[in-house]
Structures are given as structure tokens and as C-alpha cells.
Amino acid sequence: MTKDLLDTKEVANYLNINEKQVYHLIKKGRIPATRITGKWLFPKRLIDEWIETKAKENLTLTPSPASLSDHMIVLGSNDLSLDYLLTRLRQRFPESIIVSGNVGSMAGLQALKEGRAHLSAIHLLDSRTGQYNLPYLKGEKLVLVNLVYRDQGLMVSPGNPLKIRGLLDAVRKKARFINRQGGSGTRLLLDSLLQDSKIGPAKVVGYQKEVATHLEVGIEILRGKADAGLGVLSVARYLGLDFIPLTKERFDLLIPEEYFFAPQIQSLLALLGSKDFRERVQELGGYDTTDSGTIIQRG
């Protein structure tokens, strides 16, 4: 077997799905494959083209209750706990394609309002009330379910060479920041903290440098391209960065009422409330799963 051809196990690993789902895609004629001497083989070049084509198609998928049996679109914020939850859901529904996009909390909420997603993950702080998420949902037929509470703070270089003690201290020391994109919950949190400390964005070195995930923030710090950035404790631990806690925030899932009783959504909620999920997420560090799976508001 050459490196240009993948077998079923290799293509399953390449696509991050299980072999059962590969065979289902073959049966439905939805993946480029050829059978040689009794074995299914997949030209890697065609698989890469297929991935690109599917990605473009997913941009125009129209969510509906019926479509959940075939695929689920999850848009919004990102978190390691959500990644684990969706991985477990893929294992339970190997015939469904679960598409997730890290577009930020505000864009995820907007996607639900416009009918472009089945589910959204959000952590939107309202600076007026100090509440998370609820102030943004008035008049919407959406169910808000807690995923986790998580520790947000400053991720800094290993050993904290600048001896940063907090956000104000980091700004005073002209630490190079790496920021999250506009509309993300973490960006809203940073802006709120800066406002509370009466610090203008212009005083933050690197405020305009943006990336899309906590992991990207951490990697920029690890590479020495930045000194600090807001992120979660689990990512800091994963990358071996130092962490200065600033707040504990509520990270929730948002589900339109019309999808709430779909089998895939109910299975997701059952996984969310399971002992396995709680134990696995708590091992990552910086999470409180006390209310995981609890309905915070309905309708």
C-alpha cells in the first residue's frame, strides 16, 4: 500500500470517524472509494478534494428537525469540553455527520436566529447586569442548557517571566497580547474587564491581533509571539502555560425549541449529564460540572 492510498482504518483516522461510519458512507456512495482484491481503498488526493467539497456544501445546509437524522450543525464558541461531548455523540450516531464551527458566541447566536444551525455554544457576558447569556435571549424560542462553568484568565509564558499578577499589571508592563475575534465571548469579557479597570484598548499592546480559539491564543504565547492572552485553564494546562485566574464563567448550549426533543439532541443532553462526561471534563482542569445538563431557561 502506497502513501497515496488509504485503507478503511486509515481513512477513518484521517477523518476522525469510526470505521462503521466509513462503510456507511461507502454504501451510500458518499465517499470516493475503490475496491481492489476485496479491500476498499481510498485515494488520498480524492479524499482531500471530497473534504473540501463537503465543507463548501455544509455552508449551505438548511437545519430542520428532520435533517437532524442525517447531520447536525453546531456553531458558536469553542471549548475542550464541547469537543469531547461532540466526539462522544459522533460515536453514538456514526451515521450522522456532525459539523462544528468556531465562529464565536455572537455569531453562533445569530446563526440560530437565522435558522443556520441546530445548536450553539455561547458565553456572552452582559456588562450591565453581570449575567451570562440570558440578557441576549429575550423573546427567542430557545432552550438554554448549562454545559460547564469554567475558569477564564490570563495565559502567560511558562514560568511567567514578566511576573504578571493580573490584567492591569500586564497592561502596565506592556505585555504583548494576543486577542480573540470580535463577537467572541472571550473578547466581550476582555472588553468588560478593561472597561471596569478604565483601560482603553489603545493601551493594550497587540489588542488588534486576533485568533479564533483559545488553543490558538495559547500556541501564539508558546511560540513567543505574544506574552499573554485570555483563555481557559484547561488549554493552559494542555500547553504547559502559566495561568492567572480572573473569573469563572458560565458556558451554555442554546437549542431551538423545535429541535429539543429530537433523538440526537436528547442523546447529547443525556451524555452531558452522564458520570463519564463529568469525570472526563474535570480531569482537564478548571471546570465545574455541577449544573451540566441543567435547563437554565426554556422559551
The CATH number of whichever domain residue 288 belongs to comes to: 3.40.190.290
Pairing status of strand 179-180 against strand 119-122 = unpaired
> Quick one: pLDDT at residue 43?
82
Residue 51 has pLDDT above 80, yes or no: no
* Residue 35 domain-assigned (yes or no): no
* Residue 261 domain-assigned (yes or no): yes
The parent domain of residue 131 ranges over: 61-299
Q: Interior CA angle at 132 toward 129 and 138, to 5°?
A: 80
Q: Most distant CA pair in the chain: distance in Å?
A: 70
* Residue 27 domain-assigned (yes or no): no
Q: How many domains does one find in the chain?
A: 1
Residue 1 has pLDDT above 50, yes or no: no
Rounded to whole angstroms, the Cα distance separating 151 from 232 reads 6
* Residue 102 domain-assigned (yes or no): yes
More confident: 299 or 92: 92
Q: Please tell me the total number of residues recorded for the chain in this structure.
A: 299
* Residue 5 domain-assigned (yes or no): no
Q: What's the average model confidence in pLDDT over 62-88?
A: 82
Residue 69 has pLDDT above 90, yes or no: no
| CA dist 239 → 94, 221, 232, 275, 279 (Å) | 30, 10, 11, 26, 21
* Residue 114 domain-assigned (yes or no): yes
Rounded to whole angstroms, the Cα distance separating 217 from 212 reads 8
pTM exceeds 0.75: yes
* Residue 110 domain-assigned (yes or no): yes
Rounded to whole angstroms, the Cα distance separating 234 from 201 reads 26
| CA dist 286 → 39, 63, 79, 231, 237 (Å) | 46, 33, 12, 11, 9
